Structure 1
Amino acid sequence: MKIFLVAGEPSGDRLGAALMAGLRVLRPDVEFAGVAGPLMQAAGMASLFPMEELSVMGIAEVLPRYFHLKRRIREVAEAVVASDAVALVTIDSPDFGLRVAALVKAMKPAVRTIHYVAPSVWAWRPGRAAKMARHVDHVLALLPFEPPYMQAAGMSCDFVGHPVVAEALASEEERAVWAGTGPLLLALPGSRRGEVSRLMPVLGEVVGLLATRYPGLRVALPTVPGVAGLVREMAAGWPVTPTIVEEAGAKRGAFAAADVAVAASGTVSLELAANGCPMVIAYDMHPLTLWLMRRAALIDTVTLVNLVSETRVVPEFIGERCRADLIAPAVEALLADPSPQEGAMSLVMERLGKGGTPPGLRAAQSVLSVL
């Protein structure tokens, strides 16, 4: 049995690798093809082209690459049809993956189409669910409140748990590496070049302001291969020289040891919650993209910890409020008293499936149930 997988960014690569492992447990004869990141490739899957080509977010950011991405959409769809795959699983990156699914359904309706990570129709553009239903058979949801939205649009949907609950936490040795006397700040500028370019200067200013209040301040700066060079370049002039972290064990240790984090919006807030690390969310994007998203927004927060816990304990600094003079005082408040976020972070982990069947295996069970 062959399954075609398409991942578009590092978070999708992690989901894909866990799904592959789960499918191999349940169906040892399974084979894979598609678009993969380093984790999926390490699990034995060849990629049609580098996954990083698809790691683009925002209308204004996509426009310059529109024709290239359109060619890639057709190329991937044709590869699915040419293969003997029984299913196409598109993982996150809906602007790319769902267009592939639509072409595949039009060319070869027998292929079962499955989308992993329900689009946030509860946050904006609710009509996307109905459009998805035209060419998607089944959805794997990461958040417990999402299945009813998908089912109402005509697709089957299972809550499979969020992968953050199954990720390994730091060992005592990994955590001990970060032992020190001054507070440890975790700076997380994101995994896409555009968001890194916008957030790194702000993070540098935040570090400068905090360093005047905390002379022993230490800064950990985790990054991923696709943007590591840019992160190093932009951190070169920071008032406190950060420790740039790429190795997985060192990242785990930094997340576990950090006293507070300033992070880009996204699933990283859940990783911080898993480690009990209080956080401030900061994010900026192209003004056109920001304006359009605000006009379409159905919610008052972009932070998953706030949404899943049904609280608003994580402060956010988005767009024009993504300023160091606003962010630094919020960080200081958490350094003084992190307790307001502790209960919310614990509740989030419980609701996302901590202690249950690993999400990768649950996702595999769900995929096989519709084949």
Structure 2
Amino acid sequence: MSAPLTVMLVAAEASGDALGAGLAAALKRRLGGGVRFVGVGGARMAAEGVESPFDIAELSILGWVEGLKAYGRVKRRVAETAALAARERPDVVVLIDSWGFTIRVAKAIRAAAPQTPLVKYVGPQVWASRPGRAKTLAKAVDHLLALYAFDAPWFEREGLKTTVVGSQALHVDMDGADPAALRRELGLAANARVLLVLPGSRPAEITRMTPVYEQAVARLRAGRPDLEIVVAAAGPVAESVRTRVAAWPFRVHLVDEDRKYAAMRLADVALATSGTVSTELALAGAPMVIAYRIGALSYRIMKRFVTARHVTLFNIAADRRIAPEFIQDAATPEALAAAVARLLDDPAVAAQQAQDQTEALSLMGRGGADPSELAADAVLDVLAARRG
């Protein structure tokens, strides 16, 4: 009997952990007991058999300055990850998202074991900033699994073979999400309007965004005392969100990740920190306002490299500002409250935005095959080509 295929999966953030878990499950469906996993990941990948040597929460770094401060820690974890690859000698390595960490891991593994095929799952957003990263990635890995069709040309021009697998966020199954049941569970009146607040999934996002959201919501409630506030706490930062929201001077209904989709379908309007959650909200039919802040120095540095006019993916795909975006200094409590109020107080505007969001999802590839299945096929194709 031949030895099982050894696949190394490396993810450094919650979003990558979810992608890695989906890929692992898809590979197991194809290979059964003929595959084993090693690597770095979080709780979801652990459930699929990836035993991580360290907690990836410490690698959830936001901003240029914060990255510099964490450089020593990241360097040590890169060395540990490369050492794991050297011990386990995987047949293929899949490096998931998290550009700063995974590009260093790719270079370390390539230097130590140049024969090992390297696959990058989610490329850097070169269409938004720093297009030179496409060439850097092409030199570091053998294949890219891209989320969107508009990603591919940037990397293919540099000679990097690319497979567009689609975004898992476009395939979220919300059929089991029951907004009516959640309304009853939270004790909300049948006609109560609901504002859903999604503060983010990284510690730095929670630190920066929750005070802004608290002040914005306070302004909204001043003229709408019957407005119900629901806050969804992502798993990795749930305790931090819970602690901060408990101090807000008005009633808040906190829901965990398991009830996030029901909350999205329940919401009249959402106020959200930029990220994958914007796509999920669009799928749920919730009109939204997007905000984001990073450290002031990091923002000044980053602004020199950014070329994109939007940060929300469906806005980028549609090439217009469907959902309002408030970035850095523009993300003030007053501005956010005014944008949310417009959607709360004008149902026609809210309905039109929700419709436009849904239509933009088609431009992102909604309706395609399951990304995890396509990613598994691509990984096996890369391995077969190398062996051939």
- TM-score of the two chains, using structure 2 as the length reference: 0.92
Does the residue aligned with 1:330 lie in a helix, a strand or coil?
helix
Does the residue aligned with 2:229 lie in a helix, a strand or coil?
strand
Shift of 1:209: 0.7
Query: What is the one-letter code of the residue matched to 2:22?
Result: A
Moved more, 141-150 or 225-234: 225-234
1:356 maps to 368
Does the residue aligned with 2:236 lie in a helix, a strand or coil?
coil
Q: Which of 118, 140, 143 lines up with 2:148 in the alignment?
A: 143
Asked if 1:308 corresponds to 2:320, the answer is: no
Kindly tell me: are residues 266 and 247 of structure 1, through their superposed partners in 2, closer, same or farther at Cα, counting changes over 3 Å?
Answer: closer
Q: Which of 6, 17, 21 lines up with 1:17 in the alignment?
A: 21
What is the alpha-carbon distance in structure 1 between the residues aligned to residue 201 and residue 59 of structure 2? 12
What is the alpha-carbon distance in structure 2 between the residues aligned to residue 231 and residue 287 of structure 1? 22
Shift of 1:225: 3.0
Does the residue aligned with 1:134 lie in a helix, a strand or coil?
helix
1:202 maps to 212
Q: Which of 331, 337, 341 lines up with 1:332 in the alignment?
A: 341
What is the alpha-carbon distance in structure 1 between the residues aligned to residue 362 and residue 228 of structure 2? 31
1:3 maps to 7
Query: What is the one-letter code of the residue matched to 1:144?
Result: A
What is the alpha-carbon distance in structure 2 between the residues aligned to residue 277 and residue 200 of structure 1? 20
Does the residue aligned with 1:2 lie in a helix, a strand or coil?
strand
1:341 maps to 353
Question: Is residue 148–residue 365 contact of structure 2 (8 Å, CA) maintained in 1?
Answer: no
Kindly tell me: are residues 349 and 300 of structure 1, through their superposed partners in 2, closer, same or farther at Cα, counting changes over 3 Å?
Answer: closer
Does the residue aligned with 2:254 lie in a helix, a strand or coil?
strand
Aligned-CA RMSD value: 1.5
Asked if 1:264 corresponds to 2:283, the answer is: no
Aligned structure 1 segments of 4 or more residues deviating by more than 6 angstroms = none
1:86 maps to 91
Question: Is residue 218–residue 240 contact of structure 1 (8 Å, CA) maintained in 2?
Answer: no
Asked if 1:62 corresponds to 2:67, the answer is: yes
Kindly tell me: are residues 247 and 280 of structure 1, through their superposed partners in 2, closer, same or farther at Cα, counting changes over 3 Å?
Answer: closer
Does the residue aligned with 2:271 lie in a helix, a strand or coil?
strand
Shift of 1:247: 4.2
What is the alpha-carbon distance in structure 2 between the residues aligned to residue 370 and residue 296 of structure 1? 33
Does the residue aligned with 1:341 lie in a helix, a strand or coil?
helix
Question: Is residue 98–residue 132 contact of structure 1 (8 Å, CA) maintained in 2?
Answer: yes
Query: What is the one-letter code of the residue matched to 1:208?
Result: A
Query: What is the one-letter code of the residue matched to 2:354?
Result: E
1:165 maps to 170
What is the alpha-carbon distance in structure 2 between the residues aligned to residue 153 and residue 4 of structure 1? 25
Does the residue aligned with 1:72 lie in a helix, a strand or coil?
helix
What is the alpha-carbon distance in structure 1 between the residues aligned to residue 253 and residue 337 of structure 2? 20
What is the alpha-carbon distance in structure 1 between the residues aligned to residue 257 and residue 243 of structure 2? 18
Query: What is the one-letter code of the residue matched to 1:198?
Result: R
Does the residue aligned with 2:196 lie in a helix, a strand or coil?
strand
Q: Which of 112, 117, 140 lines up with 1:107 in the alignment?
A: 112
Q: Which of 27, 37, 42 lines up with 2:42 in the alignment?
A: 37
What is the alpha-carbon distance in structure 2 between the residues aligned to residue 348 and residue 241 of structure 1? 34
Q: Which of 218, 222, 227 lines up with 1:212 in the alignment?
A: 222
Query: What is the one-letter code of the residue matched to 1:119?
Result: P
Question: Is residue 323–residue 357 contact of structure 2 (8 Å, CA) maintained in 1?
Answer: no
What is the alpha-carbon distance in structure 2 between the residues aligned to residue 357 and residue 290 of structure 1? 37
Does the residue aligned with 1:89 lie in a helix, a strand or coil?
strand
Shift of 1:311: 2.0
2:31 maps to 27
Aligned length: 370
What is the alpha-carbon distance in structure 1 between the residues aligned to residue 241 and residue 47 of structure 2? 24
Q: Which of 281, 285, 288 lines up with 1:279 in the alignment?
A: 288
Per-residue displacement from partner, 1:300-339 (whole Å, max 9, x unpaired)? 1111120122221111111111111111110011121213
Asked if 1:230 corresponds to 2:234, the answer is: no
Q: Which of 114, 118, 130 lines up with 1:125 in the alignment?
A: 130
Does the residue aligned with 2:150 lie in a helix, a strand or coil?
coil
Query: What is the one-letter code of the residue matched to 1:362?
Result: L
Question: Is residue 112–residue 137 contact of structure 1 (8 Å, CA) maintained in 2?
Answer: yes
What is the alpha-carbon distance in structure 1 between the residues aligned to residue 270 and residue 22 of structure 2? 26
Query: What is the one-letter code of the residue matched to 2:237?
Result: V
What is the alpha-carbon distance in structure 2 between the residues aligned to residue 344 and residue 132 of structure 1? 34
Question: Is residue 64–residue 302 contact of structure 2 (8 Å, CA) maintained in 1?
Answer: no
2:330 maps to 321
Q: Which of 291, 301, 304 lines up with 1:295 in the alignment?
A: 304
Shift of 1:129: 0.7
What is the alpha-carbon distance in structure 1 between the residues aligned to residue 365 and residue 128 of structure 2? 22
Shift of 1:172: 6.0
Shift of 1:132: 1.1
Question: Is residue 167–residue 371 contact of structure 2 (8 Å, CA) maintained in 1?
Answer: yes
Does the residue aligned with 1:227 lie in a helix, a strand or coil?
helix
Query: What is the one-letter code of the residue matched to 1:26?
Result: R
What is the alpha-carbon distance in structure 2 between the residues aligned to residue 220 and residue 193 of structure 1? 20
Moved more, 164-173 or 31-40: 164-173
Per-residue displacement from partner, 1:62-87 (whole Å, max 9, x unpaired)? 22221111011011012112212111
Shift of 1:174: 4.8
Kindly tell me: are residues 103 and 194 of structure 1, through their superposed partners in 2, closer, same or farther at Cα, counting changes over 3 Å?
Answer: same
- TM-score of the two chains, using structure 1 as the length reference: 0.96
